[in-house]
Amino acid sequence: MDDEALQERARRARRAAGKTQEQIAEDAGVSLRTYQNFEGGRSYPQGGNLRAILRALGLDETQEARAEATREEWPPDVRVFLDMFGAYLATMTEEERLRFIHDETRRIFVGR
């Protein structure tokens, strides 16, 4: 998957298409809340919802579908943890996220 977050790619694709979140949700056949939570980085759509959203946005399904399939193989507790961790990171600015990752990586590998 690209380094750019899927949610950011979705946001940019939606805006480039001149559509609202409501329009994308309707085109994808998902609830507005499902789409808002996805684009806002608070949750990751399950099953066919991700594929439907990607189609509505005109994004490459193949690469994203592989990521979804891999994710669905993870145990439920891992998916919950990653969803929560992603939501936590989404509350930070890019600079704060980079500092957090740097600090935690240093703690793990250097012990400081």
DSSP 42-86: S----THHHHHHHHHHT--HHHHHHHHHHHHTS-HHHHHHHHHHH
Q: What is the pLDDT of residues 34-61, one digit of tens each?
A: 999 988 888 888 768 888 898 899 887 6
What residues make up the domain containing 104? 75-112
DSSP3 helix / strand / coil % (the chain, rounded to 5): 70, 0, 30
pTM of this prediction exceeds 0.95: no
- Residue 111 DSSP one-character state: -
Rounded distance, CA 46 to CA 26, Å? 17
62 & 88 share domain? no
36 & 62 share domain? yes
pLDDT of the residue at 90:
83
6 & 35 share domain? yes
pLDDT of the residue at 42:
84
Residue numbers of the chain with a pLDDT score lower than 50: 1-3
Number of domains in the chain: 2
pLDDT of the residue at 2:
40
By C-alpha distance, which of 89, 6, 102, 109 is closest to 54? 6
For residue 26, give the CATH number of its domain. 1.10.260.40
